[in-house]
Homo-oligomer: A and B are copies of this chain.
Amino acid sequence: MAVATKEAPRRLGERTFRFPAEPRIVATGSIAGRMEAEGPLGAEFDETVSDSLLGQASWERAERELMRRAVEHAVRKAGWTLGDVDFMFGGDLLNQIVSTSFAARDLDIPAFGLFSACATLTAALTLAAMAVDGGYARRALAAVSSHHDTAERQYRFPTEFGNQRPPTAQWTATAGAAFLLAAEGEGPRITMATPGRVVDYGLKDPFDMGSAMAPAAADTIAAHLRDTGRDPSDYDMVLTGDLAAVGTPLVRELLAQRGYDIEDVHEDCGLLLYDRERQDVHAGGSGAACSGATVAAHIWKRLAQGDLRRVLLVATGALHSPTTYQQGETIPCVAHAVVLEAPRAAGG
């Protein structure tokens, strides 16, 4: 290696870093659509809507409304105003992440736009935590949105066409989620992050994202455990983004091959958001707001109550586009991880 510089003070191992100030997630906001409202977490969202258009002229306009309302719920719950937020880190699935850009315009918060597909949640949490931990922001916002009807027509077929979907397909969540971070105050803490490499096992089927994303999740989880010297049992929960029914056994198997048994602590947001017995979501949920809304509405509360003490949250994303798919390319994937911990008082 040709480079010799001082070790950066917050680094841990090859790819992980610590946040010594332990930014608090002082409040979250969530909003979800009809399918999500009918799922197991239905009672936990700040708002649910039965109209998939949210009174807007298009689903695209509705999606940005999901993000805007999620942010407003979070700000209200924190007792802040929008002007209290220094910077926003946000993303969504639409081309040119227009949901985020238009929401940022309406919210009037300086914004960094991110795209890691369904891994955007943890990219946004990582960078918001970095901004607060490093003292670049006093208060930062991480926000994501997705909408079944916009994703369907952008990635696959006209939504109204109602194309038949294979059982490996996942259902894009119609939801918005927001997380407010501050260096002080109450709330679950973000203590570490392990960003992901782009991993590509050569899969090409856009109706089987779970199989494509599982290797990226395994890569990041293994890197995190290696960097920290921790074991899966050091976590109350290893929570992947949306590997759903097909990807879930794969990530467990891939990690078992590397000597890590996560089975006892592993959950997946794609399996928590819907009830696959009752709801026709095929393999489970997906979308940037699948993990977003699950964590904002459900996991945050369990951490705040001290019911969960330490969670490794690993959102997963498939980074292809319709163009790359049509040009015969494989599906590169990424998974970014953050460590969420209960408030100091609650979690010990």
- Where the two chains meet, the residues of A that have a C-beta atom closer than 8 Å to any C-beta of B are 1-3, 5-11, 15, 17, 57-58, 60-61, 79-81, 83-84, 86-87, 91, 93-98, 101-102, 104-105, 108-117, 123, 126-127, 130-139, 154, 182-185, 195-200, 319-324, 327, 329, 332, 334, 336
What chain B residues lie within 8 Å of A91 (beta carbons)? 115
10 A-B interface contacts by CB (under 8 A): A1-B81, A3-B139, A11-B137, A15-B86, A94-B321, A95-B321, A101-B198, A102-B324, A105-B200, A109-B197
Q: Is the CB of B5 within 8 A of A183?
A: yes
**How many angstroms from the CA of A5 to the CA of B126 in the assembled complex?**
21
Least Cβ–Cβ distance between A336 and chain B, in angstroms: 8
Report if A182-B5 is in contact (Cβ < 8 Å); known contacts: A95-B323, A115-B114.
yes
Least Cβ–Cβ distance between A185 and chain B, in angstroms: 7
**How many angstroms from the CA of A17 to the CA of B3 in the assembled complex?**
28
Most buried by B among A83, A116, A136, A320: A136
Report if A96-B321 is in contact (Cβ < 8 Å); known contacts: A101-B332, A101-B334.
yes
**How many angstroms from the CA of A198 to the CA of B88 in the assembled complex?**
11
Least Cβ–Cβ distance between A131 and chain B, in angstroms: 7
Least Cβ–Cβ distance between A102 and chain B, in angstroms: 6
Select from chain B the residue with minimum beta-carbon distance to A107: B198
Report if A324-B60 is in contact (Cβ < 8 Å); known contacts: A113-B114, A198-B111.
yes
What chain B residues lie within 8 Å of A86 (beta carbons)? 11, 15
Report if A98-B321 is in contact (Cβ < 8 Å); known contacts: A81-B2, A108-B197.
yes
